[in-house]
Chain A
Amino acid sequence: MVATQETIDKVKEVSSTYKYGFVTDLEAEKAPLGLSEDIVKFISHKKKEPKWLLEWRLKAYKKWLSMEAPNWAMVDFPKINFQDIYYYSAPKTKPKLNSLDEVDPELLRTYEKLGIPIKEQEVLAGVAVDYVFDSVSVATTFREKLAKEGIIFCPISEAVQSHPDLVKKYIGSVIPISDNYYAALNSAVFTDGSFVYIPKDVKCPMELSTYFRINEQNSGQFERTLIIAEDNTYVSYLEGCTAPQRDENQLHAAVVELVAMNNAEIKYSTVQNWYPGDKDGKGGIYNFVTKRGNCLGKKSKISWTQVETGSAITWKYPSCVLKGDDSVGEFYSVAVANNAQQADTGTKMIHIGKNTKSTIISKGISAGKAQNTYRGQVQIQKNAKGSRNFTQCDSLLIGDKCGAHTVPYINQFTPHARVEHEATTSKISEDQLFYCLQRGLDTEQATSLIVNGFCKEVMKELPMEFAVEAQKLIGISLEGSVG
């Protein structure tokens, strides 16, 4: 890699400043291009982080240097040049437009189909609006309500300042820096994300993040989320947004860590609709995410629900480590891949405690020339007597140029456990389509209906308001794939 002159200059500038112990505030909005130890320092400094966190980041960076990008997934893309990425830029304000008339009509059409109200459309599309968007005040109201219950819900960068002990105790406790290549990278350079703490005996009174979906958009490409649920708690967290999201950053490598204590339940729902690229996959997002939850406590429960329709490449395995006796892990997934999209997604259920239970329902839909792989691991460790797993993987193919693959790994180290795996592959039949058309539905409506029928078991796990939008989204992402 040849460093550009810009990089060399910036690095010099930055490193000379660091020598003097961070006395002056750096004016630069953006870190120079590329990744180095100095860039990691730059980010940490920009965020005014405590020393322990900087050290943690540096450790992660060193680890990352010694690692290789994984190549076992069934995805294919040109090698990423990590020196050609900006790792820090000040929170972006989108270019402002004067009215919706200036917005890409294609985007507006999609908003309309999703049923997003005009006001939200304006904000999403970056139109300069002179009214204060409701959700700002809504956000404040809800934050107060949450605070009253003792719930902490804030950007993780804020939590680093306000609750350093909690962050220090749990960050990296579920996904250690050395876990995998992208997790190490994220640990070194993460910019922001969410932090949630539910104190003992509190049931969170609302779905977290619904009301924040617009404001929370610019968390950046290296997002880091940490959710801790103490004894006897419940929390439901929603990530993402059905509205199509464009981003000039091609690589997204988020890390999400969940910790559930005794009798705690965390429900984590995702709708991922990042830009998939054009028909040939050019320009789409690479979404390489590490998500894992530790069911530490007895009878704890972690449930992942995801609807993945976006990104050029998805590489994602939300997992549960079932340590507590009687703990429960669930994974409900819909992954849609159309055109040139590639999805390699699934889960890991690691049964450690006794009588632990896991359920995996995966629905993969492939259209165009897309490749969709379910990759799942179920591990029943020696002491996990009485544990059970049920896995169901269904694939639906639309057209005959796409592919669906199921790769289950089962490691069972005790005979006193039950693991069941079912898999099916089907196609939207010509009969089904004709039947719908004969009732007056057009091809797109028909496809959407049939596909949503196929995904029903997963969709019903989504919080209501999300489910309706997600249903429409699935239809939209498959437009033009039939007929």
Chain B
Amino acid sequence: MSLLEIKNAKLKLDDKDILKGLSLSVNSGEVHAIMGPNGSGKSTLSYMLAGRDGYELESGEVFLEGQSLSDMEADERARSGLFLAFQYPVELPGVGGMSFLREAVNSRRKFLGEEELDHLAFVKEARKVASKMFVKDEMLKRAVNVGFSGGEKKRFEILQMAMLKPKVSILDETDSGLDVDALKIVSDGVNAQRNDENAIVVITHYQRLLDYIVPDFVHILSDGIIIKSGGPELALEVEKNGYAGLINAA
């Protein structure tokens, strides 16, 4: 089944065309990788999907599990199972990680008609997931992303993903800023969540990540459209030859 369907998406920012008719179809159980030069519109695509203010489509449409997203606010989309791991996670001074996560998880559970977790049950669950991701309990007590190192921030994003159990996850350059060991831990964390019911879209500049999180499809995004799609071998080609050849051919 198609979990995420993007049809001919066009979007302007400040009167500048950024997405120029982008289409993509992601089925359950699949992992897609999106690669593309700086400024090609990858983060814009992720913000558009997540429903950020100012990133409304000019034309085209997006469906999550067959439901059109056009009338859904960012928080409704999130509760419906759309997750975005931010390229630049945002600091929330004074907001404890544990209470933040708990509100997030309970919002999602409420949406799913599941019982909300009380404090104790939640802490137990969070600790379990955290230990799998080698995230120290201490980090959950700190204010969200405040003073976290670049790598810690990314790890915390994936921890949230694991807690929220989304249908569709978009990981925007989750690998950037990670050391070798962290890259493996984070990838393991993502892989552990792969199943037949969900789908993952990873945005990355580096083929290396795709050795760990092996995609079913690789797409090349250039200047607001997907110029080429293929299997994992496409990423190797990019690694070797850069984007120029692909862009010229398109």
Among A431, A434, A449, A455, the one with the most B-chain Cβ atoms within 10 Å of its Cβ is A434
* Contact between A440 and B94, CB atoms less than 8 A apart: no
Q: How far is the CB of A482 from chain B (nearest CB, A)?
A: 11
Contacting B at CB under 8 A, from A412-443, are 429-432, 434-443
* Contact between A441 and B93, CB atoms less than 8 A apart: no
Contacting A at CB under 8 A, from B84-101, are 84, 86, 89-96, 99-100
In the assembled complex, B103 has its CB within 8 A of some CB on chain A? yes
In the assembled complex, A453 has its CB within 8 A of some CB on chain B? yes
Q: How far is the CB of B204 from chain A (nearest CB, A)?
A: 20
* Contact between A431 and B90, CB atoms less than 8 A apart: yes
User: Which residues from chain A contact B89 at a C-beta distance below 8 Å?
Assistant: 435
Q: Interface size class for chain B?
A: 20 to 34
* Contact between B94 and A438, CB atoms less than 8 A apart: no
Q: Which of A437, A443, A449 contacts B100 (CB 8 A)?
A: A449
Indicate with 1 or 0, residue by residue over A444-481, a CB within 8 angstroms of chain B CB atoms. 01000110111111000000000000000000000000
Q: Which of A429, A439, A442 contacts B160 (CB 8 A)?
A: A439
* Contact between B92 and A441, CB atoms less than 8 A apart: no
* Contact between A443 and B95, CB atoms less than 8 A apart: no
* Contact between B103 and A434, CB atoms less than 8 A apart: no
Question: Between A and B, how many residue pairs show CB distances below 8 Å?
Answer: 74
Indicate with 1 or 0, residue by residue over B163-185, a CB within 8 angstroms of chain A CB atoms. 01000000000000000000000
* Contact between B75 and A456, CB atoms less than 8 A apart: no
* Contact between B73 and A437, CB atoms less than 8 A apart: yes
User: Which residues from chain B contact A452 at a C-beta distance below 8 Å?
Assistant: 94-95
* Contact between A437 and B92, CB atoms less than 8 A apart: no
* Contact between A450 and B78, CB atoms less than 8 A apart: no
Q: How far is the CB of A476 from chain B (nearest CB, A)?
A: 16
Q: What is the bound-complex CA distance between A456 and B96, given in angstroms? A: 10
Specify the main secondary structure of chain A where it touches its partner: helix
Q: What is the bound-complex CA distance between A455 and B93, given in angstroms? A: 10
User: Which residues from chain A contact B164 at a C-beta distance below 8 Å?
Assistant: 439-440
* Contact between B93 and A453, CB atoms less than 8 A apart: yes
Q: How far is the CB of B77 from chain A (nearest CB, A)?
A: 8
* Contact between B94 and A430, CB atoms less than 8 A apart: no
Given the known interface contacts A440-B78, A453-B93, A453-B143, the answer about A435 and B108 at a Cβ–Cβ threshold of 8 Å is no
In the assembled complex, B50 has its CB within 8 A of some CB on chain A? yes
User: Which residues from chain B contact A436 at a C-beta distance below 8 Å?
Assistant: 92, 100
Q: How far is the CB of B56 from chain A (nearest CB, A)?
A: 14
In the assembled complex, B53 has its CB within 8 A of some CB on chain A? yes
* Contact between B92 and A440, CB atoms less than 8 A apart: no
* Contact between A438 and B50, CB atoms less than 8 A apart: yes
User: Which residues from chain B contact A453 at a C-beta distance below 8 Å?
Assistant: 92-96, 143
Indicate with 1 or 0, residue by residue over B129-173, a CB within 8 angstroms of chain A CB atoms. 000000000000001000000000000000010001000000000
Q: How far is the CB of B73 from chain A (nearest CB, A)?
A: 7
Given the known interface contacts A432-B90, A449-B92, the answer about A438 and B84 at a Cβ–Cβ threshold of 8 Å is yes
Q: What is the bound-complex CA distance between A445 and B99, given in angstroms? A: 12
Among A430, A434, A436, A438, the one with the most B-chain Cβ atoms within 10 Å of its Cβ is A438
In the assembled complex, B111 has its CB within 8 A of some CB on chain A? yes
Q: Which of B74, B93, B96 contacts A438 (CB 8 A)?
A: B74
User: Which residues from chain B contact A434 at a C-beta distance below 8 Å?
Assistant: 50, 52-53, 74, 90
Q: What is the bound-complex CA distance between A453 and B96, given in angstroms? A: 8
User: Which residues from chain A contact B78 at a C-beta distance below 8 Å?
Assistant: 437-440
Indicate with 1 or 0, residue by residue over B61-78, a CB within 8 angstroms of chain A CB atoms. 000000000000111001
Among A439, A445, A456, A457, the one with the most B-chain Cβ atoms within 10 Å of its Cβ is A439
Among B93, B94, B99, the one with the most A-chain Cβ atoms within 10 Å of its Cβ is B94
Q: Which of B73, B92, B104 contacts A450 (CB 8 A)?
A: B92
In the assembled complex, B219 has its CB within 8 A of some CB on chain A? no
* Contact between B50 and A441, CB atoms less than 8 A apart: no
User: Which residues from chain B contact A454 at a C-beta distance below 8 Å?
Assistant: 93-94
* B93: nearest chain-A partner, CB-CB: A453
Indicate with 1 or 0, residue by residue over B36-52, a CB within 8 angstroms of chain A CB atoms. 00000000000000111
Q: What is the bound-complex CA distance between A440 and B74, given in angstroms? A: 8
User: Which residues from chain A contact B73 at a C-beta distance below 8 Å?
Assistant: 437
In the assembled complex, B20 has its CB within 8 A of some CB on chain A? no
In the assembled complex, B79 has its CB within 8 A of some CB on chain A? yes
Q: What is the bound-complex CA distance between A439 and B159, given in angstroms? A: 12
In the assembled complex, B107 has its CB within 8 A of some CB on chain A? yes
What are 28 A-B contacts defined by CB distance under 8 Å? Answer: A429-B90, A432-B90, A432-B92, A434-B53, A435-B89, A435-B92, A437-B74, A438-B50, A438-B74, A438-B75, A438-B83, A438-B84, A439-B78, A439-B103, A439-B160, A440-B78, A440-B164, A441-B75, A441-B103, A443-B75, A449-B95, A449-B103, A450-B92, A452-B94, A452-B95, A453-B95, A453-B143, A454-B93
Residues of chain A touching chain B, judged by Cβ–Cβ distance below 8 Å, are 429-432, 434-443, 445, 449-450, 452-457
Residues of chain B touching chain A, judged by Cβ–Cβ distance below 8 Å, are 50-53, 73-75, 78-79, 83-84, 86, 89-96, 99-100, 103-104, 107-108, 111, 143, 160, 164
Given A436-B92, A455-B94; 10 other pairs, CB 8 A cutoff? A431-B90, A432-B90, A434-B52, A435-B86, A435-B92, A437-B73, A438-B50, A438-B86, A439-B160, A449-B100
